Amino acid sequence: MASKTVLGACPQDCPDTCSMLVNVEDGKVTSVRGNPDHPYTRGRLCVKVNNYQDKIYSPDRVLHPLRRVGPKGSAQFEQITWDEALDEIETKWKAIIAEHGASAILPYSYLGTQGNSQGLHVGDAFFNKMGASVSERTFCDSGSCTAYAITIGDTAGVDPEALALSKYIVLWATNPLSANSHLWPFIMEAKKNGAKIVVVDPYKTTTAKQADWHIPILPGTDGALALGLMNVIINEGLTDTDYVEKYTSGIEELTEHVQQYDPETVADLTGLSSDDVRKLAREFAAAEPAVIRVGVAIERHAGGGQTVRALACLPALTGAWRKPGGGILQLPIWVFPMRWDAMSRADFLPENPRVVNLWKLGEILNGENLEGPPIKSMMVYNANPAVTTAEQEKVIQGLMREDLFTVVSEHFITDTARHADIVLPATTQMEQEEIMFSWGHFYLTFNNKAIDPMGDAIPNTELFRRLAARMGFDDPHFRMTDEELMRNTIDWDSPTLEGVTFEDIKERGYVRLNLPKTEEYAPHAEGNFHTASGKCEFVSSAAAGGNFVIPLFRQGYTEQQMGDAITPIPEYIPPNESTATNPTLGASYPLSMVSPKSHAYLSSSFGNLKHQQEHNGKQSVIMHPDDAKVRSISNGDLVTIKNNRGSYVAEAKVTEDVRPGVVFSPVGHWRHGSEANATVQAILPSTLADLGGAPTFSDTLVEISLVNTAGKSIAAE
Amino acid sequence: MTHIVTDNCRACRFTQCVSVCPVECFHVGEDMLYIDPELCIDCGGCIPVCPVNAIYDTVAMPEEHAPWIAINKQKSAELPVISAAMDPMPGAEDKRAALGL
């Protein structure tokens, strides 16, 4: 038997980007495990990918091009050849372009597959060349990126491994034990060295249960807490005055501004005690050093952007940046020498393309608030909008349109692919080669191909080469090989890669960027922020330019930004939907809903695999016993969760891990086959947050009622 | 759902699993280890490092190991956490050989 171990890399949209060992016997992947040599992975993967071979060899894999033969949404397809599929796509697209213009075609993609060449930007050059509608993919961290950019700049922040050196770790809106588990050993090391671990999260997550202190904040009020911390730090003289003087700007205005956020006011807004606000501020300021690890969930409410601005100001106020392990950590992606422009090729775009925000997909497909021609075709790759985009009913209504030509490249017949006219078979990570940045550590990771592609499946790179050839795009970009495309994503002349070659990374599986050692890495010990002034700007000079989405999340395009005004100083913007801020809505829908990531699914990836389903259990809603009791709901009951946007059915989990008035429903379950044929996205709003087009998922009111045995909802008392 | 330690660990207690576990969910008994099901995050890192194949994901284990779910739960609640690897028990290598591993 011929067996080998191949160095791979996990392709999921997770900060950890694990180096993997892929065991192959007789040309078949038999198992995967974490690479024990990797300083960050340390020999572990996670519950999502431990059985990756089950995904590759699932009997449900899409292995050939398919053409719809039944009604829309019926998932009835016939197998066709690649030539037939490309013929149909070419014919339809050329006709649409001739009649409506290329902007009637919409790409919809994200990070279902992550990686430099196969991931977020793989189709950008193609669609930019076509002149299709430019998609703003502000799904995750876009609001934070805008906030960062105008406050401290595009800095990587703290080295994640340096958390081991921290003395006070605030895990804010993040649950690393489910969604960033390879960071945890560094936190544990800090704890053993005397660090205090604090978790700010409305839900008592597994992470919160391991912390020294859990702060169960009301959803969407994090900005108030951050400003309250500033109030205490400034008024009690806990600032690092030397640091503030040398490396920040706007302290006078900030001092005056935060007076309104006294601990008592903040306590009322956040549902915490004023003593706890003071205590957190004092402890954070006293620790040397303190760090805030912010999760992607932080931005998902009306004031999400300004919340991140406030958090980004805090470490500068206390001088936490002076020591390794002090500061803020959110998105280390900025440390990688990426050639975003060379990947997206915004230079291919025509003048004044149409820009649409993909959170608004329901509206877009139904022609609401859409200027210009209707969307006549959508191509979905690395994404599953039917169960990941808000206002699910509206999205499905759009996907059901007879006159919408939908092409989906996928591994499985997802809820989106069910509605496709053409489904194209995509390779899994084991069937392709890839080089990978990370948004959770400082290593470039390499994924060697372990097996040949299954069936007719092809990598995304090959997909867009084929489509470009059909559409007559003759720019050399569209003839680049996979290796050329991988090399093209990185600036190999960067000092962070001095002495490192593509071949080195391929052979070793990973390389740490040439940066100071973790125990010496304090990038902002002397300011050097990536802002125009080089300072941490409490009063942002860049705010004057108005609201924007960084080009990374909009196919490289920089013009036609949102442009709405940004208050230059961090402010508290209350939630759109809470019983306190919207009592009228709250009268009908009195429960605040938060929809976190599931433990065993990554967004909707793996939601169809038995192993992960058994780990995750059924679609559920987690609620407090008081809220359950008044609705006659018991643990395990089927309940309907409803608001003015839609409804779905889930199993009630009754627990005191949540506070009264706040409920949780993890995402990732598939719509087809679920109770009531709907998921939590049915009740989520497509309203955007204040900065960067971030979503407002954690800013949603609902009501919950028991489903009776006849399957009908009983109205709550 | 969780992971469990089963009979193969008895009289071996190699403890490589303890080094790889990110959450310190192993508890140490007289002659074997047990996993705290409340703390285990199902990362599976312990499975390939166990020299005697004693650890299983309960979602993907042979049916015969089902009784170990309750045993791990009970024993982990009673016994102390083990946070660093220790020497295997005397005779561990013999048992490993006897298991054909």
3-state secondary structure of A537: strand
Specify the pairing of strand A443-447 against strand A510-512: antiparallel
B1 touches chain A (CB under 8 A): yes
A5 touches chain B (CB under 8 A): no
Which DSSP string corresponds to B9-66?
Answer: GTTT---HHHHH-SS--EEE-SS-EEE-TTT-----THHHH-TT--EEEGGGS-GGGT
Other beta carbons less than 10 A from residue B69's beta carbon: 18
How would you list the strands of the sheet with A19-25, edge to edge?
A: A3-9, A19-25, A28-34
**Omega of the bond leading into A289 within 30 degrees of 0 (cis):** yes
As a whole number of angstroms, the distance between CA A488 and CA B89 comes to: 54
In this prediction, residue A714 carries a pLDDT of 47
* Contact criterion met (CB below 8 Å) for A435 and A486: yes
pLDDT of residue A175 exceeding 70: yes
pLDDT above 90 coverage of chain A, percent: 98
Amino acid at A407: V
* A43 Cα to chain B: minimum distance (Å): 6
In this prediction, residue A681 carries a pLDDT of 98
Work out the average pLDDT over A318-334. 96
Q: Quick one: closest CA in A to B1, which residue?
A: A615
3-state secondary structure of A552: helix
As a whole number of angstroms, the distance between CA A462 and CA B84 comes to: 48
Work out the average pLDDT over A256-283. 98
Centroid of chain to Cα B76 = 11
| Alpha carbons within 13 A on the beta-carbon side of A628 | 21
Work out the average pLDDT over A236-243. 98
| A614 with B57: Cβ contact below 8 A | no
How does pLDDT run across A384-428, given as a tens digit for each residue? Answer: 999 999 999 999 999 999 999 999 999 999 999 999 999 999 999
Helix (H) or strand (E) holding A341: helix A340-344
* Contact criterion met (CB below 8 Å) for A316 and A536: yes
Work out the average pLDDT over A203-215. 97
Q: Which two tokens stand for residue A511?
A: 């390389």
B79 touches chain A (CB under 8 A): no
In this prediction, residue A717 carries a pLDDT of 34
Q: Which two tokens stand for residue A308?
A: 């991140």
Question: Phi then psi for B8, rounded to 5 degrees?
Answer: -60, -20
Q: What is the ipTM of this complex?
A: 0.95
Please measure the distance between the N-terminal and C-terminal CA atoms of chain B and give it in whole angstroms: 27
Work out the average pLDDT over A313-334. 97
Backbone Cα Rg of chain A: 25
In this prediction, residue A1 carries a pLDDT of 73
A600 touches chain B (CB under 8 A): yes
Alpha-carbon separation of residue A475 from A16, A105, A450 (angstroms) = 35, 21, 31
How does pLDDT run across A8-30, given as a tens digit for each residue? Answer: 999 999 999 999 999 999 999 99
Contacts of residue A611 in chain B, CB cutoff 8 Å? 59-60
In this prediction, residue A41 carries a pLDDT of 86
In this prediction, residue A478 carries a pLDDT of 98
3-state secondary structure of A619: coil
Residues linked to residue A658 through DSSP beta bridges, in sequence order: A203
* Contact criterion met (CB below 8 Å) for A397 and A367: no
* Contact criterion met (CB below 8 Å) for A354 and A371: yes
Q: What is the 3-state secondary structure (H, E, C) of A98-142?
A: HHHCHHHEEEEECCCCCCCCCCCCCCHHHHHHHCCCEEECCCCCH
Burial class (CB in 10 A: 0-12, 13-18, 19+), A432: buried
| B43 with A46: Cβ contact below 8 A | yes
Which DSSP string corresponds to B73-91?
Answer: HHHHHHSPB--S--PPPTT
| Alpha carbons within 13 A on the beta-carbon side of A43 | 16
* A185 Cα to chain B: minimum distance (Å): 5
A43 touches chain B (CB under 8 A): yes
Q: Quick one: closest CA in A to B48, which residue?
A: A33
Work out the average pLDDT over B1-13. 93
Contacts 24+ apart (CB under 8 A), A67-72: A67/A421, A67/A422, A68/A420, A68/A421, A68/A422, A72/A399, A72/A400, A72/A401, A72/A402, A72/A419
Q: Which two tokens stand for residue A7?
A: 């160095």
How does pLDDT run across A327-368, given as a tens digit for each residue? Answer: 999 999 999 999 999 999 999 999 999 999 999 999 999 999
As a whole number of angstroms, the distance between CA A570 and CA A311 comes to: 9
| B23 with A178: Cβ contact below 8 A | no
As a whole number of angstroms, the distance between CA A341 and CA A557 comes to: 9
3-state secondary structure of A53: helix
Looking at residue A658, what DSSP letter applies?
B
As a whole number of angstroms, the distance between CA A612 and CA A605 comes to: 10
Nearest neighbour of B45 by CB, restricted to A44, A51, A177 = A44
Q: Quick one: closest CA in B to A21, which residue?
A: B48
Amino acid at A366: N
Report which of A431, A388, A435, A409 is spatially closest to residue A55, judged by C-alpha positions: A431
Question: Phi then psi for A491, rounded to 5 degrees?
Answer: -85, 95
How does pLDDT run across A246-255, given as a tens digit for each residue? Answer: 999 999 999 9
Burial class (CB in 10 A: 0-12, 13-18, 19+), A210: buried
pLDDT of residue A709 exceeding 60: no
A188 touches chain B (CB under 8 A): yes
How does pLDDT run across A110-153, given as a tens digit for each residue? Answer: 999 999 999 999 999 999 999 999 999 999 999 999 999 999 99
As a whole number of angstroms, the distance between CA A284 and CA A45 comes to: 32
Q: Which two tokens stand for residue A324?
A: 């390794």
Average model confidence (pLDDT) across chain A: 97
Looking at residue B3, what DSSP letter applies?
E
Work out the average pLDDT over B8-30. 95
Which DSSP string corresponds to A183-247?
Answer: GHHHHHHHHHTT-EEEEE-SB--HHHHHSSEEE-PPTT-HHHHHHHHHHHHHHTT-S-HHHHHHH
Burial class (CB in 10 A: 0-12, 13-18, 19+), A82: middle
pLDDT of residue A715 exceeding 70: no
pLDDT above 70 coverage of chain A, percent: 99
Compute the 3-state secondary structure of chain A and give helix, strand, coil in percent, each to the nearest 5: 35, 20, 45
- The angle formed by the CA atoms of residues B39, B42 and B46, to the nearest 5 degrees, is 100
How does pLDDT run across A373-388, given as a tens digit for each residue? Answer: 999 999 999 999 999 9
Which DSSP string corresponds to A579-614?
Answer: TTT-HHHHHH--EEEE-PPPSS-BTTBTTT-HHHHH
Count how many pairs of residues, chain A against chain B, have C-beta atoms within 8 Å: 62
Best residue in A20, A23, A41, A47 for a mutation probing chain B (most B CBs within 10 Å): A47
| A614 with B1: Cβ contact below 8 A | yes
